[in-house]
Structure 1
Amino acid sequence: MMLLEGKTVLVTGASRGIGAAVAVECARHGANVAINYASSPDAADAVVAEIEALGRRAIAVKGDVADPAAATAFAKAAVDAFGSVDVFVSNAGICPFHSFLDMPAEVVDRTIKVNLNGAFYMTQAAANRMKDQGKGGAIVAISSISALVGGGMQTHYTPTKAGVHSLMQSCAIALGPYGIRCNSVLPGTIITDINRDDLADEAKRKYMEGRIPLGRLGQPEDIGGAVVFLASDMARYVTGAAILVDGGAFVNLQ
């Protein structure tokens, strides 16, 4: 069943990890996909090739989401290539692990600019295209379980993910009159480039796996289904909501 047949999906930070997996899953469900990336053009091209191998069209657009101009350029590129912006997925994010008391200001500033400001600007640009098209749309932000819990080495990161979730709640209200739905996906511990080194510690990895009722860490592909659902007409009356995709980690207090 193709849930996104004929739609154009935009995904930020989609040259690898969760963004790449989401982009490919949307293509599997019939969408043409525009991916944003900040570096690694070879990785972005590989994602485009994977989507094209599924019989869908794709483009890769370089841009730093922290730059407001990149947002309008990304939306324009998608419209130029595919004619519309139907679904926008705000995924780009960074998490340079660092202790709190000696964290450099530039690390804090860059994390906020990419994770929160970038989500704002990109969402705004996509929403304006959707409004002008006059046929509604769907916006999905990749927040994090870290929006709900703390992390000693993530004091700069967790507030941005809480902010992304809050952004979707407010946008659900602001954009509802235009038929634009806004929701969040909150991944748990997903193995990506962000945490691969941290989880290379076998003892830590086994501890994390033991805390998860489903008994394993997440893979980027585990996030795709939730995004496709929220982007599709199956979720036509869902807005301002959040879906935890964490293997049950959040509810396990034992």
Structure 2
Amino acid sequence: MLLEGKTVLITGGSSGIGAAAAVEAARQGADVAINYIGADAGAHDVVARIEALGRRGVALKGDVAEPDTATAFVGRAADALGRVDVFVSNAGICPFHAFLDMPAATFERTMAVNLHGAFYMVQAAANRMVAQGGGGAIVAVSSISALVGGEYQTHYTPTKAGVHSLMQSAAIALGRYGIRCNSVLPGTILTEINRDDLADTGKRERMAARVPLGRLGEPEDLAGPIVFLASDMARYVTGAALLVDGGAYVNLQ
């Protein structure tokens, strides 16, 4: 029960890493509010799983790329659940595309969701934490792509490097208020974001073979690290980045 009595807000919480983190937070004793933009069914399912664990769950729809969505989500979630103790910035997209003919709209949308959305959401959550007092924890889902390149990710990797950097700077700006800011850097995780890219069985097997632990990641593999960074077990950890990639980053041979 690492998050007992706490309230956790998560963006992109209706599927993938966000959904896994939301359910695990509830399992660890937290009430959870999720932001989502996709189909309502996925969000409702996550709320049902949270409530089945005896915790309160709230799902609020909105596009993180819009600045007003951040203040609305944080405000409505706090009104429903009482306060904001933990904020997880997870929402992100990666429409794979070649560099030389990258449409401006694809680049701009990826930036707006992944980086601008993270900034607005973290800022809104931090303001709420400062106003209520008592500190808090912010965890951003960056990526191994913050550290390495990708031929079809020239629009995506800069956003994830930016999210990692945002947490480093926010850790300095918010430390005086007792708010810790850290990031997790997933490797290749089997989610909706890369479903089409990994539909090729051969490619999926080749990528798994490069991982020292012998498999690609699953959303639940991120839930534990996120909960740890959000919990008081990490009370002296801020400005840090935790690789969760099965060892892929260090496997240079």
TM-score in terms of structure 1 length? 0.99
Q: Which residue of 2 aligns with 1:120?
A: 119
Q: What's the offset of the Cα at 1:197?
A: 1.4
Q: Which residue of 1 aligns with 2:161?
A: 162
Q: Which residue of 1 aligns with 2:251?
A: 252
Q: What's the offset of the Cα at 1:39?
A: 2.1
Identity within the alignment, %: 76
Question: Could you tell me which amino acid in structure 2 is paired with residue 8 of structure 1?
Answer: T
- Return 5+ residue gaps in structure 1 as ranges: none
> Whole-Å Cα distance in 2 between the matches of residues 100 and 24 of structure 1?
37
> Whole-Å Cα distance in 1 between the matches of residues 99 and 78 of structure 2?
42
Q: What's the offset of the Cα at 1:136?
A: 0.1
Q: Which residue of 1 aligns with 2:50?
A: 51
Question: Could you tell me which amino acid in structure 2 is paired with residue 21 of structure 1?
Answer: A
Q: Is 1:13 equivalent to 2:12 in the alignment?
A: yes
- Which runs of 4 or more aligned residues in structure 1 lie more than 6 Å from their structure 2 counterparts after TM superposition? none
Q: Which residue of 2 aligns with 1:175?
A: 174
Q: What's the offset of the Cα at 1:196?
A: 1.2
> Whole-Å Cα distance in 2 between the matches of residues 48 and 59 of structure 1?
6
Q: Which residue of 2 aligns with 1:71?
A: 70
> Whole-Å Cα distance in 2 between the matches of residues 68 and 121 of structure 1?
6
Q: What's the offset of the Cα at 1:198?
A: 1.1
> Whole-Å Cα distance in 2 between the matches of residues 233 and 169 of structure 1?
19
Q: How many residue pairs align between the two structures?
A: 253
Question: Could you tell me which amino acid in structure 1 is paired with residue 14 of structure 2?
Answer: S
- Return 5+ residue gaps in structure 2 as ranges: none
> Whole-Å Cα distance in 2 between the matches of residues 129 and 250 of structure 1?
36
SS in 1 for 2:99: coil
SS in 1 for 2:180: strand
Q: Which residue of 1 aligns with 2:139?
A: 140
- Deviates further, 195-204 or 104-113: 195-204
Q: Which residue of 2 aligns with 1:25?
A: 24
Question: Could you tell me which amino acid in structure 1 is paired with residue 26 of structure 2?
Answer: A
> Whole-Å Cα distance in 1 between the matches of residues 198 and 113 of structure 2?
23
What CA RMSD, in Å, does the superposition of the two structures yield over aligned residues? 0.5
Aligned pairs for 1:92-241 within 5 A: 92-241=91-240
- Deviates further, 198-207 or 129-138: 198-207
Question: Could you tell me which amino acid in structure 2 is paired with residue 27 of structure 1?
Answer: A
